[in-house]
Amino acid sequence: MKKLLAIVLTLALIGVAPVAYSATPKIGQACSKTGQRIVVAKVPLICKTATSAQKKKIKSSLVWAKYVAPKPVLVTTPKSPLSTSPSFASVDSCRIRDNSENVIRSGFPQHSQMKRSGSKLVVQLIYVDFADQVAKGKASDDKSFWTDGVSKFLADMSNGVVNFEWRATEGYNRMSKKLADYRVTRALGGDTAVLVQEAINLADSEVDFTDVDFVVAVLPPETQRSLSDVSPALILSQNSPFKTNEGRVYRATLVGGDMRFPEGHLLLSHEFGHLLGIHDYYWYGWKQGMIFEDQFKFMGNFDNMNYANGKSREWTAWSRWIIDFLPDSKVLCARDGVEASAQLDAVSKVGTGPQLLVIRTSTTEAIAVESRRNSRNDSNASSSSNGLLVYRIDTTISSGQGALRIIRKPGSTDALFSDAPLKPGESLRVGAWIISNLESGIDWDVVKIEPVK
């Protein structure tokens, strides 16, 4: 004790105060061991080198500071070896055939009515109201909800390959009958095409339909679901098209009461998917009273053509490829029996790299692999949905019966398949192939495919 007192007195005499360490450390106080970390009142602290000003104030070279975790280093380039072009076959080898006579298909080729003549598609909105459903506002007040929401979503799905031009009537045209008389509900099964054709007739004097690709009859925002709860995609044959003063229009839809909700533009985007030639991926056999998730038992949360406002709403890369929204340059086709690996950019990314790997298993069946991220239109999805999504395509299966079906990885149990994608280090055997995720970056995954020996 005498020695300690002597040391303290000696320090005081030469003008150096002893360093005091607080029993309860605080930010800005001296500490004794660099790198030491503690938590005080739920605040993480770390002992680090003090600044010059701090050293003078606390008489110590070390100081307590709030700990801020370093940001993870973003991996921008794969470390895994990637295969060169000879490891893959021509993309034409993976264009599995859809031999149906339907205008919407899950394979190739596109129906002749669906092929674009250029990079622009013109949409004509026709606003109508009825004696029993009178519009209270202006048509112009409603237009941006559709033009902004749908146009952005579809522009994202094509990554700039296709542009949409939107036109609209200045005001509402009054239809000849009450809305109830058109019977456009699921229960009554009225002919929606009749309503659309009358809307065209009313607008024909003010609208030039010469280059219009799609017509959308828009009912008032106040439209009751009891009077209009169905807004189907209408694709008429060349023998019985919609008629205008300028010629024929084959594709149209309706904005009814069922689309009047905050994300209603996603339902219209879904109908546009049909007008472009894509199937329904949800299950037609589902009925009210059944387990909710069962209607999405083939694709879960994934693809707006399955679950219109689901959390993983980006269209699958396959959906985009078959309608020419995804160019061949972004598609890789597996060579039969050849092991290969490739970096796949996420479908929600705008880039130039491959976004789809296809393994053809027959003339009408294939396995598809793509990278998913909870970004852009999938931003509401959880991180468990990130990774390599693997699914099977069978073009002999009709719309609403599961032409596309996700293949779960071992241990995947989520009712909407949110945990189905492969994470780095995980593999999945599908038929004669093993599909693995070698590594991931912020917006890509490296897939490896190898034939089962």
3-state SS of 146-165 is HHHHHHHHHHHHHCCCCEEE
Dist CA 450 CA 38 (whole Å): 48
Biggest CA-to-CA distance, the chain: 111
The pLDDT of 295-321, averaged and rounded, is 98
Q: Which residues of 129-152 are buried (b: 16+ CB within 10 A; e: fewer)?
A: bbeebebeeebeebbebbbebbbe
Task: Please tell me whether the peptide bond between 424 and the residue prior to it is cis, using omega within 30 degrees of 0.
Answer: no
CA 235, distance to chain mean position in Å, is 25
- Residue 75 has a pLDDT of 65
The pLDDT of 93-109, averaged and rounded, is 95
Is the pLDDT assigned to residue 151 strictly greater than 60? yes
Query: In one letter, which amino acid is 260?
Result: R
Which residues are CB-neighbours of 145 under 8 A, at least 6 positions away?
A: 264, 265
Fold classified for 112-276:
Collagenase (Catalytic Domain) (3.40.390)
pLDDT tier for residue 400 given thresholds of 50, 70 and 90:
very high
Dist CA 300 CA 242 (whole Å): 35
Percentage of the residues of the chain whose pLDDT score is greater than 90? 87
Dist CA 312 CA 304 (whole Å): 8
Is the pLDDT assigned to residue 331 strictly greater than 60? yes
Edge-to-edge strand ranges of the sheet holding 331-334? 88-89, 331-334, 356-360, 365-372, 387-394, 404-406
| Torsion sign (Cα): 4, 7, 12, 16 | negative
Is the pLDDT assigned to residue 415 strictly greater than 90? yes
pLDDT tier for residue 74 given thresholds of 50, 70 and 90:
low
- Residue 283 has a pLDDT of 98
Dist CA 326 CA 91 (whole Å): 12
Tokens of 405: 């079906």
- Residue 18 has a pLDDT of 46
Among the ranges given (156-165, 196-205, 283-292), the one the predictor scored with the smallest mean pLDDT: 156-165
- Residue 6 has a pLDDT of 42
Exposure of 237 by Cβ count < 10 A (0-12 exposed, 13-18 middle, 19+ buried)?
A: exposed
Tokens of 453: 């020996």
Query: In one letter, which amino acid is 186?
Result: R
Q: Locate all alpha helices (DSSP H) within 264-404, ordered by sequence.
A: 264-276, 317-322
Tens of pLDDT, residue by residue over 352-374, are 899 999 999 999 999 999 999 99
- Residue 24 has a pLDDT of 84
Residue 416 phi/psi, 5° resolution? -110, 20
- Residue 292 has a pLDDT of 97
Where do the structural domains in the chain lie, given as residue ranges?
17-66, 85-102+287-451, 112-276
The pLDDT of 270-294, averaged and rounded, is 97
Q: Locate all alpha helices (DSSP H) within 21-80, ordered by sequence.
A: 52-58
Is the pLDDT assigned to residue 17 strictly greater than 60? no
The pLDDT of 283-300, averaged and rounded, is 97
DSSP secondary structure string for all residues of 249-280:
E-EEEEE-GGG-STTHHHHHHHHHHHHHT---
